């Protein structure tokens, strides 16, 4: 459906349209549409923009990917539908492998997602068909099936729009997990090493930009960014932001401060 460009919520409606189109192509699953709705609700509460806390997490995520020996970007249906091109660019800048990993796995969806990643310019794509032959023992969902040359041996894994259990399992395996999740309360957000509380549509291009910038710097700069980053504190800032935004909206106050800075609503 054509969304009128002057509609006050045109951007959000266009994102929905993309997901609906990709659902028809078999890329997105029905539950993916519902998951997006949950994300939208949190985005609304966060003000539908990349917060300063998210920007800090994005820089830390880019630094972690650049410092990694074997970084992997895990792609599911929603990610392929919304940011396939950004993911390909990010993989090129950070030299990360791309692996398809699905909760609702089927050969048809693997193929459809592989096709849309190829169309976006991806080279080798891991985790499709027989290549997902390794198993994450702690998991019983289809997410346990991983590529022995990808997620299984990765030291850093980017997991946008995750469903919880796997982040915990990957962290237990000694991997650093970078999550992108609009819900700062989700298990994934709480368990990841670096949690980017932002919409994947905004976070993915910003991650690439941050990686491009940091790639030209000394490795020590990335190490310093990581050493200074505190995920717990960062997550708490997002929760506080939602809380303060709601309080302000409820009481019609004009502005508020967080960590000594005045934040815009």
Tokens 């796995």 correspond to what residue?
Answer: 105
- Closest residue to ligand PTJ, Cβ-based? 39
d(CA 246, CA 261): 18
Instruction: State both tokens at 52.
Output: 């300063």
d(CA 67, CA 136): 24
Distance of alpha carbon 119 from its chain centroid, rounded?
20
Closest approach, Cβ 195 to ligand PTJ, in A, equals 11
Q: How far is CA 205 from CA 55, 187, 208, 210, 213, in A?
A: 12, 24, 5, 9, 13
Per-residue mark of binding to ligand PTJ, 60-79 (x: CB under 6 A): ----------------xxx-
Interaction between residue 144 and ligand PTJ (CB under 6 A):
no
Helix (H, G, I), strand (E, B) or coil at 123: coil
Nearest CA-CA partner of 95 in 128, 65, 122: 65
Segment 186-245, which members bind ligand PTJ (CB under 6 A)? 186, 199-201
DSSP label at 125? E
Interaction between residue 158 and ligand PTJ (CB under 6 A):
no
Mark the segment that binds ligand PTJ (CB under 6 A) among 36-44, 129-137, 227-235, 236-244: 36-44
C-beta closer to ligand PTJ: residue 46 or 66: 46
Interaction between residue 114 and ligand PTJ (CB under 6 A):
no
Interaction between residue 181 and ligand PTJ (CB under 6 A):
yes
For binding to ligand PTJ (CB under 6 A), which residues are involved?
29, 31-32, 35-36, 38-39, 42, 76-78, 102-104, 161-164, 180-183, 186, 199-201
């Amino acid at each position: 459906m054509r969304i009128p460009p002057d509609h006050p919520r045109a951007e959000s409606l266009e994102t929905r349209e993309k997901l609906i189109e990709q659902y028809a192509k078999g890329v997105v699953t029905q539950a993916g549409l519902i998951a997006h709705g949950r994300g939208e609700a949190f985005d609304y509460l966060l003000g539908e923009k990349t917060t300063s806390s998210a920007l800090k997490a994005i820089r830390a995520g880019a630094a972690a990917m650049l410092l990694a020996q074997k970084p992997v970007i895990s792609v599911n249906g929603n990610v392929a539908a919304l940011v396939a091109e950004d993911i390909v660019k990010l993989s090129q800048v950070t030299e990360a492998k791309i692996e398809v990993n699905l909760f609702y796995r089927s050969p048809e969806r693997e193929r459809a997602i592989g096709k849309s990643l190829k169309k976006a310019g991806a080279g080798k794509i891991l985790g499709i068909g027989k290549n997902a032959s390794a198993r994450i023992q702690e998991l019983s969902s289809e997410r346990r099936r991983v590529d022995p040359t990808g997620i299984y041996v990765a030291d850093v894994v980017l997991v946008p729009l995750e469903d919880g259990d796997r982040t915990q399992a990957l962290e237990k395996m000694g991997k650093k997990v970078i999550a992108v999740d609009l819900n700062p309360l989700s298990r994934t957000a709480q368990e990841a090493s670096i949690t980017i509380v932002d919409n994947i549509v905004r976070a993915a291009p910003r991650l690439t930009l941050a990686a491009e910038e940091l790639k030209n710097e000394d490795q020590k700069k990335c190490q310093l960014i990581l050493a200074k980053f505190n995920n717990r504190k960062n997550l708490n800032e997002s929760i506080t932001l939602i809380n303060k935004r709601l309080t302000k909206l409820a009481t019609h106050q004009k502005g508020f401060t967080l960590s000594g800075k005045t934040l815009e609503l």
